[in-house]
A and B are shown apart, each in its own frame.
Chain A
Amino acid sequence: MEVSRHWRLQEQRYKLVGETCDSCGVKLFPPRDVCLECKAPAYALYTFTGLGELYSFTTIYDAPAGFEHSAPYTVALVKLEEGPIVTAQLTDMDESELSIGMPLEMVTRKLRTDGDEGMIVYGYKFRPIFSQQVAN
């Protein structure tokens, strides 16, 4: 099993902890230590708000092992309000109601299960921010 590799990423998976570049100020997710923009060292941690908008999406029918029981499921590119784009599943929605540019928020859900007795991996997914919630 891959326990340590998932444990190691818990700050990213549960809280969207990325980095910020001290040199150019850009926010980075996933964290990458070397700034994507200016190549300066970027080790300062930054917790993203979890708010963003839909950039692209797909509903996957031909699922890989470990995801067969969730198929079909929707994977999206979400453009976070701080700038970076993140790959994540969408939840609490129907594909027919999706449109590029719609607002989304992060939630924590089960990502995958390795068999009946295997490890359960949790992490971020995104869902639509419903209009009444926005109004409130």
Chain B
Amino acid sequence: MGEGTRSPLPKGGVKGRERNKHMNDVSIIGIGQTEVKEMWSTSIRHLAWYAIEAALDDAHVSQVDALFVGNMAAGQLSNQMHLGALVADFAGLRGIEAVTVEAADASGGAALRQAVLAVKSGLVETALVVGVEKMTDQVGSSVTAVLSSTLDADYEAIHGLTVAGMGALLMRRYMHEYGIGVEEFAHFSVNAHANGADNPLAMFRNRIKAERFGSAPPVATPVNLFDAAPSGDGAAAVIVTSHERAQDMVSQPIRIAGSALATDTLALHDRKNMLHLRAAELSAQKAMAAAGVSHDDIDLFELHDSFTVMAALSLEAAGFAAAGEGWQLARDGAIGRNGRIPISTFGGLKARGNPGGATGMYQIVEVARQLRGQAGDNQIPDAKIGMAQNLGGSGATAVTHILSNR
């Protein structure tokens, strides 16, 4: 049959039909990331560029139509706002559509969500998304104060509550309601560090032992240094286009099968049941429904383990565990690389590091590497479908993406 001949079957037979089914989906054609660490000699524009350069190289493209920058707090941390124009110009993309997307440490995932909407609308053919955060232009209590501004300024932060304090209030309540001790949370950090140890880009590559958990210095009781993810500088980027174009451009397009963002009350105290991350649940359910997948189909889950309790609550909200039982998956080894639902496969926020508005994009890059089979020592065998869930603070914003390698 010639190219122009009408056929009852799409070109390529069954494979072509599969191709048509996902024609309107959005796919990742390039990924890039920097190390996560304290990079005193690197500015925010350079950080963003390093990740973008790697993603452009990976996709073998030099031009895109739109740029979405995920960033949490450059206005306060680096006295630099207007990152859309700054990064577009610095990356040699002057003239393109470019804006910043902010949703605390869910900024990266929220920026990808905007890119998916843009490409899916048909108005943008190829979009670049970069999550970037420069945490070390300030130090100590100044950085803590900036992070606190992601809470309710009038009714939480003014009372001295911090992001770690927010995690601590949840952890204390979780321990109270479900009758467990602090030591049960250690398994999340042990797993994260075991995976981070094999990731050359991770901020922390040391393995930690559960026995030492109790003696770590307190950050905000009961949260100690072993519960809390470290802040670091970092940037991660992806390039997306329609699945139809992606298949002609790269050998392994990673399809975004589901994408959803949901919100909850900003302040923890306004939630009827604060141990139920409603936005996380909503966004996971919507993304899974869009992707047509069930929990058994998901081979790995990059979740937002900013604090160990957030890992437990995320597993519960996404439906991998019943309320109050998320911690048991860690205790039972189900979250390990050979477990039922591997999490934090490159170290997660805890060991790879939490570069604020870049974190959600690291999750996406990491899931894409797993699905391409390019995860090296961190590879989950035969991974086909991966989920990434990026939370802002205590989950007031939740963004869930489901990626597929077919």
Residues of A near any B CB (own CB < 8 A) = 5, 9, 30, 32, 36, 55-68, 70, 73, 75-77, 84-89, 95, 100, 111-112, 121, 123
Contact = CB atoms under 8 A, between A and B. Distances in A.
Interface stretch (B137-145, B237-245, B366-374): B137-145
Contacts of B267: 30, 87
A112 B160 CA distance: 8
A62 B144 contact: yes
**For B161, B164, B217, which residue has the most chain A Cβ atoms within 10 angstroms?**
B161
A99 to B, nearest CB: 9
B18 to A, nearest CB: 44
Contact of B176 (A9, A66, A73, A100): A100
A63 B269 contact: no
Interface residues of B, number: 36
A5 B157 CA distance: 13
B158 A58 contact: no
A132 B183 CA distance: 36
B122 to A, nearest CB: 35
Contacts of B172: 56-58, 100
Contacts of A65: 141-142, 144-145
Contacts of A62: 144, 162, 164, 219-220
B159 A84 contact: no
A75 B173 contact: no
A124 B165 CA distance: 18
A77 B220 contact: no
15 contacts: A56-B173, A57-B169, A58-B168, A60-B160, A60-B162, A60-B219, A62-B144, A63-B144, A64-B141, A65-B141, A65-B144, A67-B141, A67-B160, A75-B169, A123-B159
Contact of B220 (A58, A68, A121): A58
A9 B145 CA distance: 20
Contacts of A9: 154
B305 interface: no
A61 B246 CA distance: 49
A121 B157 CA distance: 13
Contacts of A70: 160
A52 B161 CA distance: 19
Contacts of A5: 154
Given A58-B172, A61-B220, A75 B159 contact: yes
A89 B169 contact: no
Contacts of B156: 87
Contacts of A89: 159-160
Contacts of A63: 141, 144, 160, 162
Contacts of B176: 56, 100
B277 interface: no
A80 to B, nearest CB: 10
A77 B169 contact: yes
Contacts of B170: 56
Contacts of A123: 158-159
